[in-house]
Amino acid sequence: MNWIQKLERKFGRYAINNLMLYITIFYIVGYALNMLSPGFYSTYLSLDVSAILRGQVWRLVTFIIEPLPISLIFLVFALHLYYMIGQNLEAQWGAFRFNLYFFSGVLFHIIAAFIVYFVTGYSLAIGTGYLNLSLFFAFAMLYPNVEFLVFFVIPVKVKYLAILDAVFFGYTILQAFMPAYGGSPFGFYYHANAIAAAVSIMNFVVFYLSSRNFKAYSPKQVRRKKQFQRDIRNAHVNKAAAAAGARHKCAVCGRTELDDPNLEFRYCSKCNGAYEYCSDHLFTHEHIK
């Protein structure tokens, strides 16, 4: 059991369902506020560490509603894309894991802003735009062959768009070290973007490694698990266990959740068939071909 599973068992009930809907609404509010009062966000709501240290602690939360610097038409398409990706990730991972991904990214942004401030003395306006863009990497891991219509005409698979997204992130980070950008009078802008891109990538990598490359949360595996759960409810695989009320049984040791309520049970994607294993044997059993 990894640390994400432990956190989910302990705090899973506090997860916010349909989180991306609320995030989308926050962006709409931020955009509308910026249209009505340009500069209000940067003056009172952005992630300004010096202002936070002076007591404006609400900025630790309000910086999330950073208005996107795009037109209203592109805002509609961008928010629709963010919402669609977020909903699909939550459907596959579960509400807790999606919450954890987003809010850990927010925390990384805050930590990075404070480190930069204490090291350089400057408060960089680090927003969450790149955190949302990093969701595309996670989406591509689950749906690599799904096609998007670029310009509503050209079908392109998500895995190729993710490569372009990675190039964009890399170039954003590289700009901070280029004299023409990072060394210009507006270098703080490129530095802030580079830090936001770097911590967003770091958040994705940490979550990727901690989730054992997302295979257990692929749509195919999730459907397989749900089908197996339906089958197990309708069949008496183990009459003794079923009679006692058990729903899970390890294919190696035969233990059920009735033997130990702390046992975790998972399905192996490498075995030829729907075989369920306890946490002690999930990664140590011999795959059935």
Is the pLDDT at 234 greater than 50? The verdict is no
Q: Are residues 10 and 141 in the same domain?
A: yes
Cα–Cα distance, 17 to 13 (Å, whole number): 10
Contact 8, 94 (CB under 8 A): yes
Top-confidence residue, 185 or 77: 77
Is the pLDDT at 283 greater than 70? The verdict is yes
Instruction: Mention every residue, 6+ apart, whose C-beta is less than 8 A from residue 225.
Output: 267
Name the nearest CA neighbour of 133 among 155, 107, 166. 166
Confidence category of residue 32, pLDDT binned at 50, 70, 90: very high
Angle between helices 95-120 and 3-11 (to 10 degrees): 110
Q: Mean pLDDT, the chain, as a whole number?
A: 81
Local structure of 108: helix, strand or coil: helix
Number of domains in the chain: 2
Q: What is the pLDDT of residues 203-223, one digit of tens each?
A: 888 777 765 545 554 555 555
Local structure of 155: helix, strand or coil: strand
Give pLDDT, residue 224.
58
CA torsion 245-251-252-256 (nearest 10°) is: -10
Tell me what percent of the residues of the chain surpass a pLDDT of 70. Answer: 85
Q: Are residues 244 and 190 in the same domain?
A: no
Contact 200, 133 (CB under 8 A): yes
Give pLDDT, residue 227.
57
| The two three-digit tokens of residue 232, written as one number | 């197990």
Domain holding 144, by residue range, is 3-214
Contact 192, 210 (CB under 8 A): no
Give pLDDT, residue 233.
52
Q: Are residues 35 and 140 in the same domain?
A: yes
Which one of 185, 214, 243 terminates a domain? 214
In-domain check, residue 289: no
Give pLDDT, residue 52.
93
Q: Are residues 149 and 231 in the same domain?
A: no
Confidence category of residue 55, pLDDT binned at 50, 70, 90: very high
Instruction: Mention every residue, 6+ apart, whose C-beta is less than 8 A from residue 196.
Output: 109, 112, 126, 127, 128, 129, 130, 131
Contact 33, 13 (CB under 8 A): no
Q: Are residues 200 and 262 in the same domain?
A: no
In-domain check, residue 283: no
Residue 148: CB atoms within 10 A of its CB come to 13
In-domain check, residue 17: yes
Bridge partners for 5 per DSSP: none
Q: Are residues 246 and 179 in the same domain?
A: no
Cα–Cα distance, 232 to 236 (Å, whole number): 7
Residue holding tokens 């891991």?
141
In-domain check, residue 86: yes
Q: What is the CATH number of the domain that holds 85?
A: 1.20.1540.10
Exposure b/e, 169-185, CB count within 10 A at least 16 = b: beebbebbeeeebbeee
Q: Are residues 254 and 144 in the same domain?
A: no
Q: What is the pLDDT of residues 238-254, one digit of tens each?
A: 545 554 567 788 888 88
Cα–Cα distance, 227 to 12 (Å, whole number): 23
